[in-house]
């Protein structure tokens, strides 16, 4: 098991990464000394939440479990209300805690509810997907979707503890598992050369879900994200580096009405960004080739997704990270280092995206 302490404006909090951590979870919760605990999960993760519930009961706390329907559609105002009503039924007061057991969907929704209930109660995050472990459980962004816009309604609310139990990953469906590697490669290419080397050397072990290797990889990703979040908790500047691959990625998701999954879309987006970077002489061809090779080795092949280039390009122009019409591309310079703030000519974007979809 590894333990990190992450800094945030609301104080440091522990992140535990390891296998079969229910006893550690109990200890962490005991230390928080809450007046009550309420577990939020989804319909697929309920068995895991039951185990968490047992551990909490051993800490001498009464707790209830509320399961939302699995899936992104639950990031809604309706489900937010259902979670808030649950916290009220559970009589969670200002000393209580919300425990989110699930992937990013549960984490974002329960985090938002925790930040609102009683003007904010503590949140313990128990991520059960690889994506949630490496990405959504860290950094304090919570949210639900608007009618048309993703994550439109949300808050910044840092957790009081994160317990990433690698054992949960065993039952994760293969597509969700593979998809998360897009974010893992993102950290490696944009920020961490030695993570990149580790991934290159161990892709077969990772595809087999080797838990000690996963523990190392999750640790490195959490450390990378924490470093950036500590500099820019509210996402006003340097945190934009974490958007690597997401400019063309989000555009592809929007242009295909989310038929292309987030991980696949981000992998596509990183391939596009690297090609643009090569064309602008910002990085060598070798950089793009090794990135693309690693994506393929981790189960994110480069088969072009079915999408209309015109729609993708229109969506790039609408990118929500754009300021005054300038799209904020993140450009790799070498493995382990990407930069923001390079002006990318529109004609080049059109050429690369059109070719990448051919
Ligand atoms: N807050 C942030 O900073 C941040 C960052 C990245 C993504 N996100 C959000 O995270 C969400 C995606 O997260 P996700 O990929 O974890 O999706 P998810 O939470 O919807 O989980 C994917 C599927 O796997 C199931 N599942 C979860 N854990 C499982 C397990 N251990 N075994 C079997 N099945 C399991 C879920 O029920 C669901 O059907 C998106 O809504 C995205 O916007 C947030
Ligand atoms: Zn992402």
For 68-86, the pLDDT digits (tens) are 999 999 999 999 999 999 9
Interaxial angle between packed helices 246-255 and 262-279, expressed in degrees from 0 to 180 and rounded to the nearest 10 = 130
Which of 160-169, 170-179, 302-311, 314-323 has the weakest average pLDDT? 314-323
For 90-143, the pLDDT digits (tens) are 999 999 999 999 999 999 999 999 999 999 999 999 999 999 999 999 999 999
Decide whether any atom of ligand 1 lies within 6 Å of the 132 Cβ.
yes
Taking the centre of ligand 2 as the mean of its atom positions, its distance from the CA of residue 238, in whole angstroms, is 16
pLDDT at 326: 80
Region 332-353 average pLDDT: 96
Q: Considering all CA atoms of the chain, what is the largest pairwise distance in Å, rounded to the nearest integer?
A: 63
Q: How many CB atoms lie within 10 A of CB 314?
A: 13
pLDDT at 224: 97
Nearest in space to 252 (alpha carbons), one of 238, 263, 236, 239:
263
Which residue(s) pair with 97 in the sheet?
37, 122
Q: Cα(353)–Cα(358) distance, rounded to whole angstroms?
A: 9
Q: Is the pLDDT of residue 325 over 80?
A: no
DSSP string, 259-295: -S-HHHHHHHHHHHHHHHHHHTTSS-HHHHHHHHHHH
pLDDT at 321: 72
Taking the centre of ligand 1 as the mean of its atom positions, its distance from the CA of residue 3, in whole angstroms, is 23
pLDDT at 318: 85
> Of 47, 72, 103, which is best to mutate to test ligand 1, by the most ligand atoms within 8 angstroms of its C-beta?
103
Domains and CATH numbers, the chain: 2-171 (3.40.50.1970), 173-358 (1.20.1090.10)
Q: Cα(98)–Cα(268) distance, rounded to whole angstroms?
A: 36
* Residues recorded for the chain: 358
Q: Which ligand is nearest to the CA of 145?
A: 1
Phi/psi for 299 (5° steps) reads: 90, 20
CA-nearest residue for atom 34, ligand 1, is 172
**Which residue in the block uniquely carries the two structure tokens 């209830």?**
64
* 3-state secondary structure at position 160: coil
Contact 349, 356 (CB under 8 A): no
Contact 44, 168 (CB under 8 A): no
Q: In the predicted model, what is the mean pLDDT of the chain?
A: 96
For 29-62, the pLDDT digits (tens) are 999 999 999 999 999 999 999 999 999 999 999 9
CA-nearest residue for atom 41, ligand 1, is 105
User: What is the Cα 348 distance to its own chain's centre?
Assistant: 29
- Run of H or E residues at 26: helix 22-32
Nearest in space to 150 (alpha carbons), one of 102, 108, 106:
108
Whether the model clears a pTM of 0.95, i.e. scores above it, the answer is yes
Higher pLDDT, 147 or 33: 33
Region 225-240 average pLDDT: 94
Q: Which residues are CB-contacts of 191 (< 8 A; sequence separation ≥ 6)? A: 224, 227, 228, 241, 336, 337, 338
pLDDT at 13: 97
Q: Cα(48)–Cα(355) distance, rounded to whole angstroms?
A: 44
DSSP string, 193-230: HHHHHHHHHHHHHHHTT-HHHHHHHHHHHHHHHHHHHH
Q: Cα(40)–Cα(58) distance, rounded to whole angstroms?
A: 18
CA-nearest residue for atom 11, ligand 1, is 104
């Amino acid at each position: 098991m590894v333990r990190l302490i992450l800094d945030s404006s609301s104080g440091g909090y522990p992140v535990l990464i390891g296998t079969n951590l229910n006893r550690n979870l109990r200890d962490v919760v005991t230390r928080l000394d809450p007046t009550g605990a309420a577990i939020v999960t989804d319909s697929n993760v309920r068995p895991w939440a039951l185990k968490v519930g047992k551990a909490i009961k051993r800490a001498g706390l009464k707790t209830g479990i509320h399961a939302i329907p699995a899936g992104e559609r639950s990031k809604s105002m309706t489900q937010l209300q259902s979670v808030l009503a649950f916290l009220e039924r559970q009589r969670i007061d200002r000393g209580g805690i919300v425990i989110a057991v699930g992937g990013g969907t549960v984490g974002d929704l329960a985090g938002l509810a925790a930040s609102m209930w009683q003007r904010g109660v503590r949140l313990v995050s128990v991520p059960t997907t690889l994506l949630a472990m490496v990405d959504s459980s860290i950094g304090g962004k919570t949210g639900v979707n608007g009618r048309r816009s993703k994550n439109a309604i949300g808050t910044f609310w840092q957790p009081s503890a994160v317990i990433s139990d690698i054992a949960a990953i065993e039952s994760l469906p293969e597509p969700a598992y593979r998809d998360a590697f897009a974010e893992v490669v993102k950290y490696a290419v944009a920020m961490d050369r030695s993570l990149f080397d580790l991934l290159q050397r161990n892709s077969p072990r990772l595809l087999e879900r080797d838990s000690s290797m996963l523990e190392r990889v999750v640790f490195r990703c959490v450390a990378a994200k924490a470093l950036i979040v500590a500099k820019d908790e509210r996402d006003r500047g340097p945190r934009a580096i974490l958007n690597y691959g997401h400019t063309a990625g989000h555009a592809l998701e929007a242009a295909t009405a989310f038929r292309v999954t987030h991980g696949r879309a981000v992998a596509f987006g990183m391939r596009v960004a690297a090609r643009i970077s090569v064309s602008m002489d910002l990085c060598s061809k070798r950089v793009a080739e090794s990135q693309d090779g690693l994506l393929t080795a981790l189960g994110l092949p480069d088969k072009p997704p079915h999408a209309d280039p015109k729609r993708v390009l229109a969506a790039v122009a609408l990118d929500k990270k754009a300021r005054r019409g300038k799209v904020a591309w993140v450009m790799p310079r070498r493995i382990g280092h990407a930069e923001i703030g390079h002006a990318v000519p529109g004609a080049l974007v059109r050429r690369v995206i059109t070719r990448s979809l051919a």
